[in-house]
Amino acid sequence: MIARNYRTRSGSGEIDIVAWHGSTLVFVEVKTRQTDEYGAPSLAVDAEKRQKLQLAARDFARRAGTPPERTRFDVLSVLLGQAPKIEWIRDAFGRRSG
């Protein structure tokens, strides 16, 4: 892990975790819910949230000198409760690059 709660200077986007996975720069969005009454936590990563994540990721990757083809977006879905459930969705946006 190389960064947590990274925000763009303009404040228009935030990434929960930035980490290297081999030569791939991975941007991880963490979503946590108490129950699945309204669906899995990962469903909260809608088009608007995705756009903000991508904006922040482009900013971070540019500053790190990492080309877009060496980046990936993951979602960590955490459902709390009696038996907590954690699901790591790799390449959540379906554009595996590196």
d(CA 35, CA 16): 21
Domain ranges of the chain: 3-89
Q: Tell me the pLDDT of the chain averaged across its residues.
A: 91
Instruction: Kindly report whether the global pTM for this prediction surpasses the value 0.85.
Output: yes
What is the topology classification, in CATH, of domain 3-89? Answer: Trna Endonuclease; Chain: A, domain 1 (3.40.1350)
The HSE-up count of residue 85 (CA atoms within 13 Å, CB side) is 10
Share of the chain above pLDDT 70, in %: 96
Can you give the pLDDT at residue 10? 82
Residue 55 CB neighbour total at 10 angstroms:
16
Q: Is the model's pLDDT at 98 over the cut of 80?
A: no
For the residues 40-61, what does the mean pLDDT come to? 92
Confidence of residue 72 (pLDDT cuts 50, 70, 90): very high
Confidence of residue 30 (pLDDT cuts 50, 70, 90): very high
Can you give the pLDDT at residue 16? 96
